[in-house]
Structure 1
Amino acid sequence: MKKIILLIVSLICSNILFAQQQNATFEVNPSTFNEDDEITITVSNINPSTWGVTDLYLWAWSFDINDANTMDSPTNGSWTNSNEAQKLTNNGNGTYSFTFTPTTFYNRTGIGSIGMLVKAKDGSGDKKTQDQIFEVGVFQLNLTSPTNNVTIINANENVNITATSTINADFNLLANGSSVHTVSNSNNYSFTVNPSETTNYTLQANDGTNTLSEEFQIVVRPIVTEESLPTGLLDGINFDENDATKATLVLYAPNKEFVHVIGDFNNWTIDDMYLMKKDVANDRFWIELTGLTPQQNHLYQYLIDASIRVADPYSTLILTESNDQYINNTTYPNLPDYPTGNTNHAVTVLKTGETSFNWEIINFTKPNKKDLVIYELLIRDFDELHSFDAITARLNYLEELGINAIELLPVSEFDGNESWGYNPSFHMALDKYYGTKEAFKTFIDECHKRGIAVILDVVYNHATGQNPFYRMWNTDNGGYGGQAAANSPFFNQTPTHTYNVFNDFNHSQQATKDYVKRTAQYWINEFKIDGFRWDLTKGFTQNCTENDESCTGAYQADRVAILKEYADYQWELDDTSYVIFEHLGSNTEETEWANYRLDEGKGIMLWSNLNGNYNEATMGYHENGKSDFSWIDYKNRGWTYPSNVAYMESHDEERLMFKNIEFGNSNASYDATELATALERLHTAGAFYFTIPGPKMIWQFGELGYDVSIEFNGRTGNKPIRWNYFDEPNRKAVYDIWATLIALKKQESIFKTSDFIINANNINGLKTIHLTNDDTSDDLQYVTIIGNFGITTQSIDPDFQAVGTWYDLLDNNSSIQVTNTNETISLQPGEFKIYANSQVVLSNEDFVFNNVNLVMYPNPASGLLYFTDEVSNLKVYDITGKEVITFNNHYDKNHAFDIKNLAKGIYIIKGKSLNKSFSKKLFVR
């Protein structure tokens, strides 16, 4: 069986080279053969050096006598490591060969055909040839006319049917299952037909033992009704609000002659009752379906010019023949069955009369952009159940960390099941591998209940070959390969920037703009999505080539214009929607976006990659400004507002802890590669990250010091899910420190100030941050942060803003007296301090009952805990939900509760006060 390899890439501006598939020439000797004959496959017109290799390998599969039941060669190996048993022989003349006997090689009998391709030993990056199929059997039938599976003719037009066989045979031509012509004992067949209607033909040849057949269809061109599209209809599915037995389908298809709808309502056959009307002026076909059964899954496709069958480009749920069987009933209960045997390619699921989702949060107030702490999350690698339900169940963990936004890697339908999602095929369909739309809505509603926004990563630079609009106009006759046709309304024939993979959208085309807007509208209106992170915005220009980075990286006016148009539309749908671009380009272009409509309270946010600088700091290298992360200061970019979404890690960056452990600096007494030490250095990184004004982002499990390389199992391959890290004290300490820092960031106005200075370029790794509050009425006027990112003990000048009493915010507000603002302070390697001129007590989220405030104090606590009123039935839980202490009795106000045995961390206390239940967050230090 052909191994389907999905090139799943993350599309950041990195220097990754993507190898090209090669179209080689395959020959087999002898040209006809039985399954037990020895054969030699010879491959020519191939250059292994294109892939950076010298050796080539055969990847092979086989089919049974009915061209079904595919099986891989047992000695294929893996796609990234082919078995040496299938290495081709270099013939020294530019050709490569491989000799085998099919029954032995494939370890099976009853073989009808064999398939193969040639690849590099590691086939990742598309280092392969096209597929090649050879029929098995000395007796072969070759249909020479018509040459296409579908032939379109006018009424009363003749069609010649011709064929040859390798040995004499009896021929029988069937039309719609009935015999219409025979020829006996010949190796040539010829007959002329004149069908009056669309007819399915089968030509059979029998040599006395075996019967071979070829199937083809002759379509009589239908008469299409030309009629304007009714007012108010959108591309895709339009439901009738007053009649759940009806739905109107609209397909944009310029330069196409006619379109039939095929589906379970007409047995997947051409039926002119389902011939779509044509709105010539708007290049759209449309049809009103009637007689549908409400709340029943109907399946359909568009059959275009009787030759290309595609799912609706605006499907919200599709079924595929090769992936759905691997989606379990827990993830997606009652998934409809693919109509196997009736059609091929993706099909659309249509259901009318669905019950509306009962949203509990109707008008969610999004966190202020300045306050955003975004958690970037890949569902597949976050929980082994890889579902919306699974991450909903993990929300307590994220809420207690303190994040207020979750950014999901793409969840729209992508090729295959397991992916980062940057290989989109249907931009408006939810990928079933993550669950149902009801589960997704429940997840969003639960996030909104907790004050957490949901941001989607959307990929509009490109689409894979499965995308219907790509298949409708390409050089592969509607297949998944080739390239976009010159008349494609959506895709460029060749990429117009340097970072493209798959098929490059042409954003200067109105059709593409309409597609982007229509699909974006769906996610915001249907799911209450709070914003988009637009992937690879550098690719939205039409001015460059795939080999000219100087052009792609330079300011491009067309790109700026189209992205502003998309931002405007997003804000038209939701006035407060987050617009985030992953551009990573010139500051000139990004500044224009950051300032765009800023006076209206909008402005576009930009991804800001500080991975390299922070990682150099955590590893302990500082020469030549390696660890200078001061670009995180938006003012250094000439901006007046913190529009930079800064990150130390993202899905695309190597993990901090992996490099700490592999490459950290050391000396005789201190080693940054030692696990506990490396984790402690993340504390310091967090102190010099979350406290800097502006939005921040965490990549999943960074808060636990995830140390598995991004290249593990291939860059986009599945990564180990390490929830056990939470039970390791040194890793849990990172979570706790970061949670405290995030709480400070969100609670105290000084961490939103515009008056701050970062000194991060000391060659010895000493760094400081000084913040002065814009709000002069706040008691907390000054914060000074000092840190030693070096690997030796050093003294640092804190340069306090004022003399007086200063408090260590991460040491229970312990105080120091400052009489000399420049008196040095000694810091151990990796140590930091956050000093403030006023004490800070983190909010314990007091609840009000019967107009009485129940206060829990102190918080943070260590040793004893008190409440200002009577309480009873107290239970203390860690943030995984495990009960760790119980106080079952009734207690007077100000009773001392012993919590000395609680480890440092964050806990939830639940109980009753004045006959009312309460729940509070406790910080133990």
Structure 2
Amino acid sequence: MNKKIGATLKKDGKCDFCVWAPFAESVELIFKNRTEPQDLSKDEKGYWSGSFSEVSPGTLYKYRLNKKDEFPDPASRSQPDGVHSWSQVIPVDAHDWHDKNWKGRELAEMSIYELHVGTFTPQGTFETIIDKLDHLEELGINTIELMPVAQFPGERNWGYDGVYPFAPQDSYGGVSGLKKLVDACHARNFSILLDVVYNHFGPEGNYISQYGPYFTDKYHTPWGSAINFDDEYSDAVRKHFIQNALMWLEEFHFDGLRLDAIHEIIDRGANHFLRELSEKTDALEQKTGRRYVLIAESDLNDTRLIKDYELGGYGLEGQWVDDFHHSLHTVLTGEKAGYYADFGEMELLAKAFKQAFVYDGTYSVFRKRTVGNNPAGISPDNFVVCIQNHDQVGNRLLGERLAELVSFEKQKLAAATMLSSPFVPMLFMGEEFGEKNRFQYFVSHGDPDLVKAVQEGRKKEFEYFFHSREGEFPDPQAEETFDHSKLNWNFKNDEGKRYLFEFYKILLKLKKEGVFKLFSIKGVQTFTEEDHKILKVSAKDHTGSLTGIFNFGNSIFTEDYSGEKTPEVVISSADKKWGGKITEQELLQEGKLKVPAEAVLIYSS
């Protein structure tokens, strides 16, 4: 029997409690408002459970192991007093849902917007995101992706230090606030995805190892011992995370999950955890009649993640593609430190535009080994690309956004490259109006030794990338680091930011209308000029042709055009209506195309 872990209130007034602790000699349930502990019974698989009456919503509890140590529930749904304190009983059906007719959407139809709950709005809560749906609707986004919200220590964190994967962060608004947000998104025709972390736990408040072998020393990750997905007793560990994923989809009505750093989910068993998760999600689709998407973050460039089961794949719907970001970022900025050493050439950008993977079984100088496999035959709709995300901004030493690194014209050029590409686009909050407030790494740990370790670790981790001046390094623990990472919503007072916002709007509209669809067909041709930093992309079928000229250089690019029909401009980033310095008429004169420096021209014929 697949036991449901955590505290589950039943309609008969009782509450079922269940926790896995295979080596414990006894497990007792401790209620904050009662003096007598309640004994739990153990089954043959190491699950301790019991059903108790007179347990009301909001009841606070812990488990006592072996008559001495008391810990919160590793499957707690709420930690109202923080990661070290009591767990709270939360009724599953407390929210009155209004989205019964919602069926979800395919990944191919999504335009994704990644945001951090704490810094997206001044208040930093789930419910205040609802107030910004008008903005996102005007922009043309149809899918929101939340960075991790599992309960973490303190009130400031990216979310990757979560230690209670079943409990939405209390300072964001907890269970109630999150369900209100999801319901409001569906009412406005937005999909909503959640970033989940199944490769490690945060260092503070991490009591799960007190209960059983949730970790294994067989493998090690950047965070320490790996989570136990294939060692002894791993069946219960796998079920813990499968139940968590299905909870977000079924009980919270999320439309999908972004799976953090799956290359650190180490499983050498016959049925990989990711495939099992995909199969269980498919079964849930059959049960609910809704579509769900699973998107992997991976730096392996391994098509097995997204191939169908019958081809030996894991059946995930999509994966992030770092190669696209790195190819574009290096051409835009000229940066070549760290992993950017593998990129920076126009032909690599052309390759990324055509097939997503640059490293497709080729040698990486930075990694000093061959990386990836060939994505031939994989639909471009399986790849999610971006020009900014929380990692690529926040994991810079100073957290600079693209708007601080490149010109206004290059920001438009970058946006057009991403949004005209054949892949699923993802924006990072604020990029649509050129936000310059840095998105920096922040925490609010309670342990002074841990704070010091984080501070020193951040300085060392990226020192090969960027070298800060004395006193410039942002302190992750400082509240001002968090405050300075919040979006500035007064962007419409700035003419340049208004132009950029309007440019994003038209690109997303054209993307939605399928204007760039020809760039996704077989037979797309690319041409590059390294010296002048030119990428030319062209495609045609029986309906016509589409050409994009992306000028990353410092001089005007000109080209003759022939034929009786004058090319029809789809979009020109240098046009005055987007804050440029040229009119559409000046682009096409006397049989010549003109593309200014740091600009893009896309035309049909």
**TM-score tier (shorter):** 0.7 to 0.9
Residue 579 of structure 1 and its aligned partner are, at CA, apart by 1.1
Q: Could you tell me which amino acid in structure 2 is paired with residue 784 of structure 1?
A: T
Residue 620 of structure 1 and its aligned partner are, at CA, apart by 6.7
Mapping for residues 187-206 of structure 1, pairs under 5 Å: none
Assess, with a 3 A threshold, how the Cα gap between structure 1 residues 761 and 363 changes in structure 2: closer, same or farther: farther
Aligned to 1:17: none
Mapping for residues 129-528 of structure 1, pairs under 5 Å: 233-241=3-11, 243-244=12-13, 246-267=14-35, 270-271=36-37, 274-279=38-43, 281-293=44-56, 296-320=57-81, 345-351=84-90, 356-465=94-203, 466-472=205-211, 488-493=212-217, 496-497=219-220, 499-501=221-223, 504-508=226-230, 509-528=234-253
Residue 432 of structure 1 and its aligned partner are, at CA, apart by 0.7
- Mapped to 1, the partners of 2:314 and 2:272 lie a distance apart of 20
Aligned to 1:633: 354
Assess, with a 3 A threshold, how the Cα gap between structure 1 residues 460 and 762 changes in structure 2: closer, same or farther: same
Assess, with a 3 A threshold, how the Cα gap between structure 1 residues 735 and 601 changes in structure 2: closer, same or farther: farther
Q: Secondary structure at the match of 2:160?
A: coil
Q: Could you tell me which amino acid in structure 1 is paired with residue 81 of structure 2?
A: T
Residue 365 of structure 1 and its aligned partner are, at CA, apart by 3.5
- Mapped to 1, the partners of 2:402 and 2:273 lie a distance apart of 41
Assess, with a 3 A threshold, how the Cα gap between structure 1 residues 818 and 490 changes in structure 2: closer, same or farther: same
Assess, with a 3 A threshold, how the Cα gap between structure 1 residues 503 and 836 changes in structure 2: closer, same or farther: same
Residue 737 of structure 1 and its aligned partner are, at CA, apart by 0.7
Aligned to 2:298: 583
Gap runs ≥5 in structure 2: 358-374, 441-472, 578-582
Residue 602 of structure 1 and its aligned partner are, at CA, apart by 5.8
Assess, with a 3 A threshold, how the Cα gap between structure 1 residues 659 and 264 changes in structure 2: closer, same or farther: closer
Assess, with a 3 A threshold, how the Cα gap between structure 1 residues 663 and 425 changes in structure 2: closer, same or farther: closer
Q: Could you tell me which amino acid in structure 1 is paired with residue 235 of structure 2?
A: Q
Mapping for residues 552-571 of structure 1, pairs under 5 Å: 558=269, 561-571=272-282
**Are the aligned partners of 1:300 and 1:349 in contact in 2 as well (CA < 8 Å)?**
yes
- Taking structure 2 as the reference length, the TM-score comes to 0.78
Aligned to 2:568: 807
Q: Secondary structure at the match of 1:687?
A: helix
Q: Secondary structure at the match of 1:770?
A: strand
Assess, with a 3 A threshold, how the Cα gap between structure 1 residues 754 and 790 changes in structure 2: closer, same or farther: same
- Mapped to 2, the partners of 1:464 and 1:619 lie a distance apart of 33
Assess, with a 3 A threshold, how the Cα gap between structure 1 residues 462 and 559 changes in structure 2: closer, same or farther: farther
Quote the sequence identity (%).
22
- Mapped to 2, the partners of 1:598 and 1:706 lie a distance apart of 45
- Mapped to 1, the partners of 2:275 and 2:10 lie a distance apart of 34
- Mapped to 2, the partners of 1:760 and 1:367 lie a distance apart of 36
Assess, with a 3 A threshold, how the Cα gap between structure 1 residues 418 and 569 changes in structure 2: closer, same or farther: same
Q: Secondary structure at the match of 2:244?
A: helix
Aligned to 2:490: 724
Assess, with a 3 A threshold, how the Cα gap between structure 1 residues 634 and 364 changes in structure 2: closer, same or farther: farther
User: Aligned match of 1:533 in 258, 271, 275?
Assistant: 258
Gap runs ≥5 in structure 1: 1-230, 324-344, 473-487, 543-556, 665-677, 838-925
**Are the aligned partners of 2:325 and 2:385 in contact in 1 as well (CA < 8 Å)?**
no
- Mapped to 2, the partners of 1:797 and 1:370 lie a distance apart of 36
- Mapped to 2, the partners of 1:320 and 1:613 lie a distance apart of 45
- Mapped to 2, the partners of 1:736 and 1:598 lie a distance apart of 44
Aligned to 1:921: none
**Are the aligned partners of 2:99 and 2:187 in contact in 1 as well (CA < 8 Å)?**
yes
Assess, with a 3 A threshold, how the Cα gap between structure 1 residues 759 and 471 changes in structure 2: closer, same or farther: farther
**Are the aligned partners of 2:551 and 2:599 in contact in 1 as well (CA < 8 Å)?**
yes
Instruction: Work out which of the two has the higher radius of gyration on C-alpha atoms and give 1 or 2.
Output: 1
- Mapped to 1, the partners of 2:71 and 2:550 lie a distance apart of 59
- Mapped to 2, the partners of 1:835 and 1:803 lie a distance apart of 15
Q: Could you tell me which amino acid in structure 1 is paired with residue 257 of structure 2?
A: F
- Mapped to 2, the partners of 1:302 and 1:282 lie a distance apart of 18
Residue 741 of structure 1 and its aligned partner are, at CA, apart by 0.6
**Are the aligned partners of 1:530 and 1:577 in contact in 2 as well (CA < 8 Å)?**
yes
Mapping for residues 786-805 of structure 1, pairs under 5 Å: 786-796=549-559, 804-805=565-566
**Are the aligned partners of 2:77 and 2:167 in contact in 1 as well (CA < 8 Å)?**
yes
- 1:48-91 deviation digits (Å, cap 9, x = unpaired): xxxxxxxxxxxxxxxxxxxxxxxxxxxxxxxxxxxxxxxxxxxx
Q: Secondary structure at the match of 1:462?
A: coil
Q: Secondary structure at the match of 2:48?
A: strand
Assess, with a 3 A threshold, how the Cα gap between structure 1 residues 526 and 761 changes in structure 2: closer, same or farther: farther
- 1:3-55 deviation digits (Å, cap 9, x = unpaired): xxxxxxxxxxxxxxxxxxxxxxxxxxxxxxxxxxxxxxxxxxxxxxxxxxxxx
| 1:831 maps onto 2:542 in alignment | no
Q: Secondary structure at the match of 2:535?
A: strand
**Are the aligned partners of 1:619 and 1:659 in contact in 2 as well (CA < 8 Å)?**
no
- Mapped to 1, the partners of 2:564 and 2:126 lie a distance apart of 52
| 1:754 maps onto 2:516 in alignment | no
Mapping for residues 588-737 of structure 1, pairs under 5 Å: 590-597=302-309, 603-609=316-322, 610-619=324-333, 625-627=344-346, 628-630=348-350, 631-634=352-355, 637-642=375-380, 643-654=382-393, 658=400, 678-711=407-440, 713-714=474-475, 717-718=481-482, 719-737=485-503
**Are the aligned partners of 1:594 and 1:639 in contact in 2 as well (CA < 8 Å)?**
no
**Are the aligned partners of 1:423 and 1:463 in contact in 2 as well (CA < 8 Å)?**
yes
- Mapped to 1, the partners of 2:62 and 2:513 lie a distance apart of 53
Q: Could you tell me which amino acid in structure 1 is paired with residue 67 of structure 2?
A: A
Aligned to 1:79: none
Assess, with a 3 A threshold, how the Cα gap between structure 1 residues 725 and 816 changes in structure 2: closer, same or farther: closer
- Mapped to 1, the partners of 2:93 and 2:319 lie a distance apart of 38
Q: Could you tell me which amino acid in structure 1 is paired with residue 355 of structure 2?
A: Y
- Mapped to 2, the partners of 1:402 and 1:833 lie a distance apart of 21
**Are the aligned partners of 2:78 and 2:174 in contact in 1 as well (CA < 8 Å)?**
no
- Mapped to 2, the partners of 1:355 and 1:625 lie a distance apart of 52
Work out the number of aligned pairs and report it. 519
Residue 460 of structure 1 and its aligned partner are, at CA, apart by 0.7
Q: Secondary structure at the match of 2:327?
A: helix
- Mapped to 2, the partners of 1:815 and 1:688 lie a distance apart of 23
- Mapped to 1, the partners of 2:17 and 2:77 lie a distance apart of 13
User: Higher helix share goes to which structure?
Assistant: 2
Q: Could you tell me which amino acid in structure 1 is paired with residue 229 of structure 2?
A: H
- 1:664-689 deviation digits (Å, cap 9, x = unpaired): 5xxxxxxxxxxxxx112211222221
Residue 463 of structure 1 and its aligned partner are, at CA, apart by 1.4
Q: Secondary structure at the match of 1:809?
A: strand
**Are the aligned partners of 2:160 and 2:202 in contact in 1 as well (CA < 8 Å)?**
no
- Mapped to 2, the partners of 1:450 and 1:805 lie a distance apart of 41
Assess, with a 3 A threshold, how the Cα gap between structure 1 residues 559 and 757 changes in structure 2: closer, same or farther: farther
- Mapped to 1, the partners of 2:511 and 2:389 lie a distance apart of 20
Residue 760 of structure 1 and its aligned partner are, at CA, apart by 4.8
**Are the aligned partners of 2:419 and 2:507 in contact in 1 as well (CA < 8 Å)?**
yes
Q: Does 392-401 or 722-731 show the bigger shift?
A: 722-731
**Are the aligned partners of 1:805 and 1:815 in contact in 2 as well (CA < 8 Å)?**
no
User: Higher strand share goes to which structure?
Assistant: 1
Q: Secondary structure at the match of 2:178?
A: helix
- Mapped to 2, the partners of 1:654 and 1:262 lie a distance apart of 44
